[in-house]
Amino acid sequence: MSFNAFSQFLEKYPGYKGTTAIDLLRKKEYQILDSEGHIYLDYTGGGLFASSQLKAHHDLLSKNVFGNPHSYSPTSHHATKLVESARRYVLDYFNASPEEYVCIFTQNASGALKIVGESYPFGDGCRYVLIFDNHNSVNGIREYANAKGANVQYIPVVLPDLRVDESALFEELGSTERGCYNLFAYPAQSNFSGVQHPLGWIEKAQALGWHVILDAAAFTPTNTLNLSKWKPDFVPLSFYKMFGYPTGVGALLARKAAINKLHRAWFAGGTTTVTSVRGKKYYPADAPACFEDGTVDYLNIPAVEIGLRHLQSIDMEKIHTRVISLTGWLLEELIALKHTNGTPLVKMYGPLTTNDRGGTITLNFIDTSGELIRKDLLEKEANKRNISIRMGFFCNPGAGEIALDISTDELASCFSRPLYSDRLTDIDFQQCIDPKATGAVRVSVGLVSNFADVQAFIAFAKTFLD
């Protein structure tokens, strides 16, 4: 690592000096990164866990006996106590009053969104509005809306920053069908471009008669979400994105006034108080139990509280400052790279400054003739250097289609081919719309990223000059 480069970095981003405690934390709790030579730059894909998280969870499991919570035995009571403690801690972490919000444990953020989609009271003429910049788990709710006769409308994001035209958005939100339930969904932070969409939209949309889904999966790992100030109706979360472990546990934080509008078309073990076969009747439990199908992951849920306590011990403001500092430097350095004929090495998709953005950067590499450098080549070379980055559309086709200028006509031409009437693989799609359909390169910094990590990626990028 160049001392001169680090000095220049600190001069531009002096706040980074206040995050040195994270460097010490990395040496103590995340030592495998440096001992094994990993350059981990896929924090939007998944967070990393600390060794102390594993130890605390292992100690808990090895020193206790836990039983299925759906009983009143001593082991069941012990498990229930820890699950409910984690539930309370999640609400407390997000400053969500238990009088106003309920925490429903799910498999992940996608599972949380499926609960809303399958249970929301869409009807004929009701509306589901979402922006182009959404994860596929949010896009998927449109199938439930369509099936119930609701109208689905997408609001595009606009180049070059991939932000929404607010006037267009609120013109659309200003139109609702009376007597209908209407749902609006958007991410607090894009998992494609890192854009942070305004949290102020929540209250404005609700005032116009909309329930609001705020997808917080990409936002919460490096930002504070205060649910006493911002009050979306539904907040899906994946905890592994925040602190790495456990995987397979997420949550839906839902306002009680909104969750009471949801109706499920089925029931499962644990979701009812009484079910009768002969009587052909069942009585649903109250939330959260009525949405937690079967037995919750009672051995892993206590690790959620361990992970949240770990984040709190570091301080989210410190994490945010570090991430934004590294993101700013990475943007500036990559933008400055040019081939000898003056052609820029990279094409960025999204904001070029740190204003209202997170630590996710999406780009493509360009050769001297202005053509995209193949993703398979980029990935192969990154893997040789033990650099973990991500390629593709990142389950966010709307932002990707606008960023890479994949038109409606191109998509229609591809999808209408008889060969692809029932099945279309990603390879097929690339052959339909090559080379744009290969997507982009995503680099994301997070909790324990450091200057050496971003410098390693910059050095990797320079190998593609000329």
Q: Which residues are catalytic?
A: 395
Decide: 140 and 118 in contact? Cβ < 8 Å.
no
Strands 39-40 and 281-284, by their bridges, are unpaired
Size of the chain in residues: 466
Q: Environment class of residue 324 by beta-carbon count within 10 Å: exposed (0-12), middle (13-18) or buried (19+)?
A: buried
- Give the C-alpha separation, 370 to 343, whole Å: 7
- Give the C-alpha separation, 266 to 272, whole Å: 10
The type of residue at 348 is: M
Decide: 441 and 378 in contact? Cβ < 8 Å.
yes
The type of residue at 221 is: P
Strands 101-106 and 250-255, by their bridges, are antiparallel
Beta-bridged to residue 222, according to DSSP, are none
First CA to last CA across the chain, in angstroms?
Answer: 23
CA angle 117, 123, 126 (to 5 degrees): 90
The tally of CA atoms less than 13 A away on the side-chain side of residue 96 is: 26
* CA proximity to 197, closest of 209, 207, 208, 184: 184
